[in-house]
Chain A
Amino acid sequence: MDKPQIITHLEKGMNHTLYDCKWIPRSARFVTLGSHPRGTGAINVFEINQRELQLVKECETPTSFKCGTFAASSLQARNLATGDFKGKLSVWDLENMKSTFDVDAHSEIINAIDGVGGLGIGEGAPELVTGSRDGAVKVWDVRQKDAPVACMVPEEGEGKRDCWSVAFGDAYNSEERCVCAGYDNGDVKMFDLRTMSLKWETNVKNGVCCVEFDRKDIPKNKLVVSSLEGKFKVFDVRTQHPKSGFASLSENAHKSTVWLARHLPQNRDLFMTTGGSGSLSLWKYEYPPKRVKEEDGVSKGVIGSLQYLQNSTISTQPVCGLDWSPDKLGLCVTVAFDQALRVLIVTKLNRV
C-alpha cells in the first residue's frame, strides 16, 4: 500500500461563494477569496489548529474576488495580489487588511492571476500577470503603479477571446521569462517576455480552464493544460520542434470540466487535477527513456506517460480552487462551489 491516499483532514462550510484559496507562505495559515451573495468580496484568513480551522481575519470589500496569488510578494511581506470581478488588480497587506496597490487593470473580470519572482521562486523582478474576459493578458510590476509592463491584447477588429487562465514560467534567470495564457476557444499561447514575441500557440479544442508550468523557476519543462469536456494535456515544453511544436499527451479525467491542475511544489512530476464533479485526481508524469529525438537534424521532444495515482470525490460541486502548501509536503487546501473549504492531506507523496 504505497499508494498515496487523499485524506480530507478538515472541512468548513461558509456562507458565501469561494473562488480561490492560497497558503500564506511560511505559515500554517491560508487565505480564501470569494463573493458574498450581495456581490461584495470576501477575504478570509484561516489558521489550522489541531482538529479545527480557526478564522483569523475576515474582510469584506466592495467587489467580489475571483483569484489571488502570493507569488510576486517577498517572503517578508507576504502580500496577496487579487483580481476582482470588475477588473481591478489589488495587492493586500494581510496584517492590517489594507490594499497597498490598486489598479484598474482590465475592463472586465480578471479570471486568472499568477506571479513570479517572489517567495524565492524565480529569478528577476517580481511580476504579476493577469488574464481577463476583455481578452488581454497584462504583466505588472508592483513598483510601477499605473501601467502594465507588458501587455498582450488581440488585434483591433479581431474578435476578442475570454482569457481564462495565465501562468508564468521559464524564469530561471533574470532575463528569461514567459507567460502562457489559455482562452475560452481552446487557444493556448506562450509569450516570451524577453523578446516580447509569441513563442508558440496551439488549440486544444475546448476552453482552457487552467494552464500551469511544473515549475516557474527552471528552464521551462512541462506544461499542463486542462480544459472543458474532461480533458487535459501535458506538453513537454523543453524541446520545441519548428513544425510540430511541443510533444504532448492527452488524458481524460473527471468526466467533466477539469477545472485546475496544480503541481506539487516539492516534486514537479506530481500534480493534482480537480473536476467539475467534485473529484480530485493525482497524477504522476513519467519521463520517456530519452526526452529528445533527432528528426532530420532537428531535435524533437518525446513525451512520457502519465500514471494515475489516486482519486477522491470530495464534493458534489466543481472544485474551483486548490493550493498545495509550499512548506508541508502533501498538505493542500481546496474550495468548491458547495461553499465549503477543505484541508486535505495526501500521504506517501515522498514514496511515489
Chain B
Amino acid sequence: MAHTGNNSMHRSSSRPQLDLSKAEIQGNVEEKYPTILLPNQSHDISHLALDIGGSLIKLMYFSRHEDQSTHDKRMRNVKNRLDGNRRSYPILGGRLHFVKFETSKINECLDFIYSKQLHCGGGESRYSDATTDSNAIIKATGGGAHKFADLFKERLGLSLDKEDEMSCLVAGANFLLKAIRHEAFTHMEGQKEFVQIDPNDMFPYLLVNIGSGVSMIKVDGDGKFERVSGTNVGGGTYWGLGRLLTKCESFDELLELSQKGDNSNTDMLVGDIYGGMDYSKIGLSASTIASSFGKATSEKKELEDYRPEDISLSLLRMISYNIAQISYLNALRFGLKRIFFGGFFIRGHAYTMDAISFAIHFWSKGDAQAMFLRHEGFLGALGAFMSYEKHGLDDLMVHQLVERFPMGAPYTGGKIHGPPLRDLNEKISWMDKFLQKGTEITAPVPMAPPGTTGLGGFEVPLSKGSTLRSDASALNVGVLHLVPTLEVFPLLADLKMYEPNTIDLSDHSELEYWLKILSEHLPDLVDKAVASEGGTDDAKRRGDAFARAFSAHLARLMEEPAAYGKLGLAKLLEMREECLREFHFFDAYISIKQRENEASLAVLPDLLMELDSLDEETRLLTLIEGVLAANIFDWGSRACVDLYHKGTIIEIYRMSRNKMQRPWRVDDFDAFKERMLGTGDKKPPPHRRALLFVDNSGADIVLGMLPLARELLRRGTEVVLVANSLPALNDVTAMELPDIVAEAAKHCDILRRAAESGGLLVDAMTNTYDSSKENSSSVPLMVVENGCGSPCIDLRQVSSELAAAAKDADLIILEGMGRALHTNLNARFRCDALKLAMVKNQRLAEKLIKGNLYDCICKYEPAN
C-alpha cells in the first residue's frame, strides 16, 4: 500500500497549492494520457461547479472525508495479509453537496460560497482569513455563466470557466444513471416507482431538459449526443403566462395552485364540443382537451371571472402534454427506448410528472413510459463538475456512492440568517430556534422551494405557512458520499437479481409499522445515547436535537415514502445510525456493550469446557443452538429489551438454549451437519475459509459466534469475523473485536493461536507482520470490517477488505436479524451459506417464515 503509512494529510490553512509529492502516474506509462494520481493532494483544490440558469443557480461542491483513522494495527495487519497488490484508488473519498439558489437572488449564492470559503479551496480553511485567490477558476455552465462572469470575478475573485451547457447536461445524466442506484423513476397517478437502469444497456436515450425552454437530446454514449429537437413552450412559458394571468408571486405558488384547479372551466373539452359525448371514432374521450383555453373565449367572462387555480392547471396541462408529445415523437423518430425528463420545470412536482407521464402514455398508446431523475435540476452542475480534469468521478461505480440525508441548516421565518451552519452547535441552535417558533419541521432536508434551498447543510424556507415543506414533490437530494473503498461482495451469485431487503416498504402498512417501531424505540435510544456521553447538558441538548431530527425524518417518510429515493428497511435503519452520528453520538450503546462483553467473557470458559465434553455431533448442534440462543440478546428488539430485566446473561442464554426445540421453523441443520461432519466414514474436507458476519456484542458474539468460530478453527478452517465498521445499536464493531478475542484467547489455546496467527493479539508482538508469518502453525482468525454502520448489510457495498477476504472463502455464515432476515434471507451466494437468526419480532416472523416470536431460522444453502 502506497499511502497507508502516509496518511498524515495535514490541513494547511494556507492558500491552495498542489501537493505533488508522491505523485505517480497510474496505469500503463505507455498510454498517451495516463491518469496522474495525487495521493497527497488534499481538499485544497476547490471542487466547486455552478450551473447558472435563467431561474435557478445550481451549485455543487466537493468536500473531503475527514480522515477516519481506522489505520490501527489490526487494519494494517489485515491489509498486509489480504490486500496483496490491491490497486490504490484514483478517486478521492469525499462528499458531493448539492445546493440551489434563485438566480434573481444571486447574492445569496455568492454569500454561501464566501461563507463556506469555497472560492478559496474547500471548507477546511474557513476560519482562516478570507484571502481570495485571484487565480481561482471554477467550472460553470448555463447561460448565466456568461452573464454573471464579471460579478463572480469582482465579488469572489473567481473566474468562471464556461463549459458547454449541453455537454454538461449529458455528462451529468450519464453519471447519475450509471452511478446512482435507482436514480430513475416513473411517476403515474402519484405513484413513484424506482427503476434500475442497467448501465450497460442505458444508451441510446432521449434526455428532455425542461428549463425555461425545452431541449431534447439524443444520447448515444458518454460524450456522444446530439440536440435533436426542442420547444420554446417550456417552464418559462408556464411561469410567464402564469404570472400574467394570476397573481402568483412564485413559480412554486403557481404550481401549487394547479393542484386545486379544474381545467374544464378554461379548456374546451371534447365533451364540450360534442355535447358531452365522446368522439369515440377517433378515440377521444369527452374529457380530452380539445382546445387549451378554448373556453376562455367566452364573451361574457373576463380574466377576473376565472379562478387562478383553473388557469394554472390548464396551463400546466397544456405545456406538459405538449412537451410530452413532442418528446415522444422525437423518441419514435430516432428509435429511442427511454425518455428521461429533467430540468427545473419538473422539480419533482408530482402533478407535472403525472401530466407528462399521462401524455406519454396517451400518445404512445402505452408503449412508452416517461422517466424522471431524482437529481433533476442538478444535471448541468454535475456535468460542469465532471469537466474538471481530475474529478475522478468517471471511474466511480455505483457501489462506491452512499447517499445520506443530514439535517439541514438555518432557516427561520422565511429568511436566511447568517452564514451556513458550520458546526454542530450552530445546527442545534438553529433547531432550537425552530422549536421556539413553534414551527413544525417536516422536511429535514428541504429541497429548493421557491426561495431556493441549500441541500446538505443550507436551506431556505417556504414563504408561507408555519409548516416548512420541502417541495411539492417531496423528493430530497442528499449528500453523496464517495467511498472509493466500497466494493461489491464478490460471492454474490447474481448481482443483478440481488435485493438486500426482504420487507417491501412500498407496502404502506409495512412502512407504517416499521416507522412506528422506530418511533417507539426512539426515547429509549435517546436515553442510551445521552448516557453514553456522560449525561451532560450538552449531551442532553444533542439528544433532543437528534430526537427531533429523526422524528422529522420519520414524519417525512410517512408523508412521502419516496422522499429519500427507494426506501428499504436497511436504509431506514442506517438512517437512524447516521442521524445519531450527525449529532455526535458515536456509540450510544458503548457502556452496555462493554458490560455485556465482560459478563459474557466471564462465563465463556465454563461454556467452552461444557462444549469440549460433548461428542462432535452433539457439539455442532449445541453450537448452532448456542448461536441461535445467544442471538436473543438484542437491544434492537423490544421483546428482548424486556427480557433483560428478568435475569442474568447466562441464565437467559441457558434458558433460551434449552428451549431450542428442533425442528426449528427453518431447519437445514442436518444438511449443514452432513457438509461439516459427513455421513458414515466419509469425512468431507473442511472449508478453506469461513466468513462469519457477526451481529450483537455480549452473549451473541462471545457465547454464540466465538465458540462456533473456534469449532471451525479447530477443524482447520480459516475464520474471518466480519463486523461493522461503525457502531449500530449494540452490534459489535470491527474495532472492538480484537479486544474481545484477546480476552477470550486468555482461556482458550485454539483461539489464542489462531488469533496470533491472524495478527489479532497485537500487544504481544512487536512486529505483527513478521510474526504472523512465523506463527503459521494455526489457521488464522481474522477480523475485517464490513464497510457499513448499519444493523443490516447491503452486500452491494462492502469494504474492500471484506471483498478481499471473500476471495478465498467457501463458507459464509450470516447471523442475526439485521443481516440474515431483514436483509439477505433470500440472497444467493457462490459458496456454502448458513443463515442463523432468532426472530425477535412477531410481524417479521409472520411475514417471512409464517412463524412466531422467538422462532429460529437455520437456513443452509450449499454452493451449486
Please say whether chains A and B are actual partners in one complex: no
B residues bordering A, Cβ < 8 Å? none
The interface of chain A, by Cβ under 8 A from chain B, is: none
